[in-house]
């Protein structure tokens, strides 16, 4: 079965630096890869989507890359701020499926 | 738009009791989902629906039932609650592929925190 791996250890970054989170998957590549943000006690919020034929997608301070050879996506937050502190979830969608498979998330902490 | 709403926000059940978690969306999404999230863990899919009258099992369906009589509502029923069902439950919805939107990016409700004692 398909597996998604995200770094289970929390990532602590100094404010202003670039935070980079990793999402690795096994088996075949998804049609789409998504990133969500989840704050404590709240539901996940969609951030970005990248297609399998795209290498990179940007939105403001966020950047996502997708490498189907490495079976990996990287999620970057540039000029990080304490308000960026949250758990970030990676999710995969396959073209034949109606559902999404979520990773367990990486907790990011930005210290002032 | 209110988006995805869930009720109740919190609930404590005794072992063996039953309850229904309500979920409503006002975005005219065809697809709806129920997930559970245990502390420090990711989301596990319980059931999903691709349209009114159509439901299907996810990864962890045992102990739960769903129905989808309208596009807007997707209630989750717990029968004979067990301590293993203590979790936070999230409902989500998304556009269908027929809408032309890609990737099924999902819109989540605020969650229901359930404790079974």
Q: CB distance from A34 to chain B under 8 Å?
A: yes
User: Nearest to residue A38, comparing CAs of A94, A107, A100?
Assistant: A107
Give dist(CA B93, CA B3) in Å, integer: 9
The pLDDT value recorded for residue B109 is 97
Mean of pLDDT values over A5-25 = 92
CB pairs < 8 Å spanning A and B: 54
β-sheet bridge partners, residue A78: none
Average pLDDT over chain B reads 92
Question: Is B116 a residue whose pLDDT tops 80?
Answer: yes
Helices (H) and strands (E) in chain A, counts: 0, 11
Give dist(CA B94, CA A37) in Å, integer: 17
Mean of pLDDT values over B38-65 = 92
To the nearest whole Å, the CA of A104 is away from the closest chain B CA by 4
The pLDDT value recorded for residue A23 is 95
CB contact under 8 A, B103 and A104: no
Question: Is B16 a residue whose pLDDT tops 80?
Answer: yes
To the nearest whole Å, the CA of B55 is away from the closest chain A CA by 11
Mean of pLDDT values over A24-45 = 90
The pLDDT value recorded for residue A99 is 73
The pLDDT value recorded for residue B101 is 59
The pLDDT value recorded for residue A97 is 64
């Amino acid at each position: 079965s398909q597996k998604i791996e995200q770094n289970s250890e929390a990532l602590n970054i100094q404010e202003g630096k670039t935070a980079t989170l990793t999402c690795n998957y096994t088996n075949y590549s998804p049609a789409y890869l998504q990133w969500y943000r989840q704050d404590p006690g709240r539901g996940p919020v969609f951030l970005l989507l990248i297609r399998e034929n795209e290498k990179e997608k940007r939105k403001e301070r966020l950047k996502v890359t997708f490498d189907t050879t490495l079976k990996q996506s990287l999620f970057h937050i540039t000029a990080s701020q304490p308000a960026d502190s949250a758990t970030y979830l990676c999710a995969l969608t396959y073209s034949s499926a109606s559902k999404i498979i979520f990773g367990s998330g990486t907790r990011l902490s930005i210290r002032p | 738009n209110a988006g995805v709403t869930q009720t109740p926000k919190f609930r404590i059940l005794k072992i063996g009791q039953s309850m229904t978690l309500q979920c409503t969306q006002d975005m005219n999404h065809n697809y709806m989902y129920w997930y559970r999230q245990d502390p420090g863990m990711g989301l596990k899919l319980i059931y999903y629906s691709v349209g009114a009258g159509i439901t299907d099992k996810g990864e962890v369906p045992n102990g739960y039932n769903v129905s989808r009589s309208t596009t807007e509502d997707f209630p989750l029923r717990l029968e004979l609650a067990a301590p293993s069902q203590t979790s936070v439950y999230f409902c989500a919805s998304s556009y269908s592929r027929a809408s032309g939107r890609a990737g099924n990016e999902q819109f989540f409700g605020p969650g229901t925190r359930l404790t079974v004692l």
